[in-house]
Amino acid sequence: MKQCKICKTDLENIRKLSKHIRDKHKSVTVKQYYDEYLKKESEGICVICGKETRYVGLNAGYVTSCVKGCSAKLFRKRLREDAERHEIFKEKVKENMKRIWKEREHSGEKQIILDKSEDGKQKTLSKMTKKERKEKYGWLNKLSGSERQNKIDEIMSPLVKYWENITDEQITYLYHKRMNTIVKNSENAQIPEHLLELSEETIKSLDKIFGIS
């Protein structure tokens, strides 16, 4: 049994109450009636972003979130609060994605998507300058000044320590190994004889690279 808050008339259900308001109290809309007599204090405000939400009807009142994005966030929030349901949901999504990609693989759609993705990436890269590519994809450049320098020092430290303690025999071995690699990778590469000998000038150059005085 539902009672009209305006005239105290008893009605059988919410549907008849709604009709009663429209027929007997024409100066008041059903929404106005709800706002005046039934609306809760925090109702009508999106629980995610705080904006006004949509009125549904006399029985349901207002929805708890305003737009699709907020509805999805609210759904995920409530899902995470229920560990069992969350786990079931994750497994269901995983199985659905496996099925979808299997169907795409059989139809050939998978390769089309991958090709488009790769083409799009290459087109984007081709329009970027070397500096822009470095700033976007170089993880070291995404660090702040002091963080970046600390990371560089951390990476270079073992190399510097190694070079400080390297023996002449190790230097000769590394140098000749590098020369041999150049010859193997280049069909017509011919290294002048004087470069095959590890000179004092070469050692100084290597010292300079690693900052050893």
pTM of the model: 0.42
- Predicted pLDDT of residue 199: 52
| Count helices and strands in the chain by DSSP H and E runs | 10, 4
Look at strands 10-11 and 55-57 and give their pairing: unpaired
Q: What mean pLDDT do residues 4-19 have?
A: 91
pLDDT tens-place string over residues 180-192: 676 666 555 555 5
pLDDT tens-place string over residues 99-124: 888 888 888 888 888 777 777 667 67
pLDDT grade for 210, boundaries at 50, 70 and 90: very low
From CA 18, how far away is CA 33, in angstroms rounded?
Answer: 9
Q: How far is CA 7 from CA 11, 31, 60, 200, 213, in A?
A: 11, 17, 22, 107, 98
From CA 101, how far away is CA 148, in angstroms rounded?
Answer: 40
Q: Where are the domains of the chain?
A: 2-66, 166-209
For residue 209, is pLDDT > 60? no
- Predicted pLDDT of residue 157: 77
Q: Are 77 and 70 in contact (CB under 8 A)?
A: no
**85-98 burial code (b ≥16 CB/10 A, e <16):** eeeeeeeeeeeeee
pLDDT tens-place string over residues 38-64: 998 889 999 888 888 989 888 889 988
